[in-house]
């Protein structure tokens, strides 16, 4: 373990993707405990000072103005078919999941953690037992998990809960955002999210197009009923189109037969004799039958057309209801977007505040150091009286040159609007 300056430590670039900062009373209590007892458990960092475990401890240290924090430096390397970056990510995910508990993390972010761990461990195909966790610091480690059950045991959750969370990764992005950032009615319960995740991408997109961000206020059975109604309507329309097509073809065939028979009858010219040709009456009877069949087909086609028009009206009414629903959801979607924008603004403000904090702290420390050493040197110079010392003269000249160079840089900072500082160049 070693003490490392806070200003040297870097947040892992993917930490925000998987974990939220503590807030409210929980954060206040956490900061209070650090202030009272200090940082008991050291941060885990890489050899270039990227934090793997301890982002909240680092944030608290910055808030409290601590200059250094205790750290353990782990050197990560490519090992056992897994890259060094994946070993870092594995430790980042597992250490935070262990410390916070899976149930205390946003479900969508928990799902992402599980998805990444399954990818790293290659859970689907399995992986042989391994006794190294990718660092040179630790010698004894349990075998890497090869199944979902082993991974669930490592995370101290049930295999069923792990699968429920992992299924959220099948949701389309708009539904994932509702779980991660939603609030009030613009959010998804885990039960409804599971149901939506079991649907195909096309079904999810249709549902989001219909219900929008307000889908969370509907029950699972209401959404299922909507899907059933739409499927029934599509089936009715398809069956009707197929039947209409079949009857139309049948009508065309009957019309053709009718024309052929009429032409035959027209060409038969019985002489004025006692007996007609043998097939004359048969042709007339067949023609009569075809005409009756044709009439029935036409009637059925008219009925189908009426049914089609009724179904089309029903469909339009249904669509109108959905359009009304979409219109009502627009306001909710706008509010949700404004909320997401606020979260983004908060992240930017936090980053700016951290930079400003570090900047003001460094400037304040710099001013304090100048005052402190100036007073110490002044006391020593006064105490030595008129005694001349060539080395002291040389060092004072070097100090003057160094301060002049520093003041030239400060002048550049001032012209950039970074600060408003009054000073005068020291004459050599």
Choosing from 151, 170, 189, the residue where a domain stops is 170
Report pLDDT for 93: 93
Report pLDDT for 397: 84
* 44, 73: one domain: yes
Choosing from 152, 170, 188, the residue where a domain stops is 170
* 177, 321: one domain: yes
Return the half-sphere exposure (C-beta side, CA atoms, 13 A cut-off) of residue 342: 9
* 304, 191: one domain: yes
* 379, 324: one domain: no
Report pLDDT for 346: 67
* 149, 221: one domain: no
Alpha-carbon distance 154 to 176, whole Å?
Answer: 25
Give the position of tokens 């023609």.
Answer: 287
Residue 315 lies in a domain: yes
* 324, 201: one domain: yes
DSSP 113-162: HHHHHHHHHTTTT--------SBSS----PPPP-SHHHHHHHHTS-HHHH
* 202, 71: one domain: no
Report pLDDT for 254: 75
Residue 49 lies in a domain: yes
DSSP state of 425: P
Residue 425 lies in a domain: no
Residue 424 lies in a domain: no
Give the residue ranges of the chain where pLDDT is below 50: 125-134, 136-142, 272-273, 419-428
The CATH code of the domain that includes 26 is 3.90.1530.10
CA distances from 170 to 123, 190, 195, 202 (A): 17, 13, 11, 12
Q: Which residues contact 354 (CB under 8 A, 6 or more apart)?
A: 62
* Parent domain of 394: 346-415
Choosing from 339, 374, 404, the residue where a domain stops is 339
Report pLDDT for 412: 77
Report pLDDT for 69: 94
Number of domains within the chain: 3
pLDDT tens readout for residues 339-394: 667 766 766 776 677 777 777 878 888 888 888 888 888 887 777 766 567 777 78
How would you class 380 by CB atoms within 10 Å of its CB: exposed for 0-12, middle for 13-18, buried for 19 or more? Answer: exposed
Residue 225 lies in a domain: yes
Alpha-carbon distance 252 to 273, whole Å?
Answer: 37
* 41, 164: one domain: yes
* 230, 302: one domain: yes
* 254, 386: one domain: no
């Amino acid at each position: 373990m070693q003490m490392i300056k806070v200003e040297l430590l870097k947040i892992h670039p993917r930490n925000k993707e998987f974990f939220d900062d503590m807030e409210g009373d929980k954060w206040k209590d956490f900061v209070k405990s650090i202030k009272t007892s200090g940082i008991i458990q050291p941060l885990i960092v890489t050899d270039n000072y990227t934090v793997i475990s301890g982002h909240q401890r680092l944030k608290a240290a910055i808030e409290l103005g601590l200059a250094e924090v205790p750290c353990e430096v782990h050197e990560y390397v490519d090992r056992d078919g897994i890259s060094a970056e994946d070993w870092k990510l594995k430790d980042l995910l597992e250490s935070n999941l262990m410390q916070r508990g899976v149930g205390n993390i946003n479900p969508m972010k928990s799902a992402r953690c599980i998805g990444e761990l399954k990818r790293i461990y290659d859970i689907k195909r399995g992986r042989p037992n391994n006794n190294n966790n990718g660092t040179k610091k630790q010698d004894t480690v349990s075998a890497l998990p090869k199944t979902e059950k082993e991974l669930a045991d490592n995370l101290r959750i049930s295999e069923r809960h792990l699968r429920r969370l992992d299924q959220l990764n099948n949701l389309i992005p708009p539904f994932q955002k509702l779980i991660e950032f939603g609030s009030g009615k613009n959010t998804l319960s885990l039960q409804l999210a599971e149901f939506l995740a079991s649907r195909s991408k096309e079904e999810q997109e249709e549902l989001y197009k219909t219900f929008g961000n307000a889908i969370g206020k509907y029950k699972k059975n209401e959404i299922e009923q909507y899907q059933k109604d739409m499927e029934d309507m599509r089936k009715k329309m398809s069956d009707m189109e197929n039947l209409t097509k079949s009857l139309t073809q049948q009508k065309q065939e009957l019309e053709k037969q009718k024309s052929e028979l009429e032409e035959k009858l027209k060409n038969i010219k019985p002489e004025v004799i006692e007996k007609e040709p043998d097939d004359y009456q048969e042709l007339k009877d067949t023609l009569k039958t075809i005409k009756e069949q044709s009439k029935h087909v036409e009637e059925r086609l008219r009925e189908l057309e009426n049914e089609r028009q009724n179904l089309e009206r029903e469909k339009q009414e249904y669509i109108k209801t959905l359009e009304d629903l979409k219109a009502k959801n627009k306001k909710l979607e706008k509010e949700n977007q404004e909320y997401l924008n606020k979260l983004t603004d908060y992240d930017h403000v936090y980053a700016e505040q951290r930079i400003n904090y570090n900047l003001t702290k460094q400037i304040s420390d710099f001013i304090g150091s100048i005052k402190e050493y100036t007073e110490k040197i002044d006391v020593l110079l006064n105490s030595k009286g008129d005694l001349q010392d060539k080395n002291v003269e040389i060092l004072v000249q070097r100090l003057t040159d160094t301060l002049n160079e520093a003041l030239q840089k400060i002048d550049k900072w001032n012209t950039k609007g970074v600060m408003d500082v009054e000073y005068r160049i020291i004459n050599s």
